[in-house]
Amino acid sequence: MTEIDWLIAALVLALLIALAALLMRRRGRRRGETPMVALVRRRRELQSQLQTLAGDDSEQLVRYEARRLKAGPNSVEVLEAAIERAERLSARGELQPGKPRR
C-alpha cells in the first residue's frame, strides 16, 4: 500500500469511529439503562414537575387529561399534557399549588 492508501484508510476509520460515537451519544441512554428504566425515570420526573406546578390539583389534572386522551393516567403523554395544562392555568392565575381547591 502506498502512503496515500494508508491516509485514506485512516480517514475512513476515523469517520467510522466518529459515526459510532455520534450514534451512541444520540441514543440518550445511560450506560446499561434499559428502555423501561428510562421510561420510569421520565415518568417520575414528569410527576415531580406536575406536583411542583399544581400541588393538590395534580391528580385532578391527570385524571382529566387521561380521559381526554383516552390513555392511562401514568402514560408519558398524559403527564406531559397535564403539565402543559398546569402551566397554562398557573399563567392565568387559576392554579395556585399551595392553596386547596374548593
Please state the domain extents for the chain: 1-29, 33-95
Q: Where do we find the cell 485512516?
A: 10
Closest CA to 83 of 46, 42, 35: 46
Please give the model's pTM, rounded to 2 decimal places: 0.64
pLDDT tens sequence across 67-96: 999 999 999 999 999 999 999 998 888 776
How many angstroms separate the Cα of 98 from the Cα of each of 41, 51, 57, 75, 91?
26, 11, 10, 25, 15
* Mean pLDDT of successive 10-residue stretches along the chain, which has 102 residues: 86 92 71 83 94 91 95 94 93 70 47
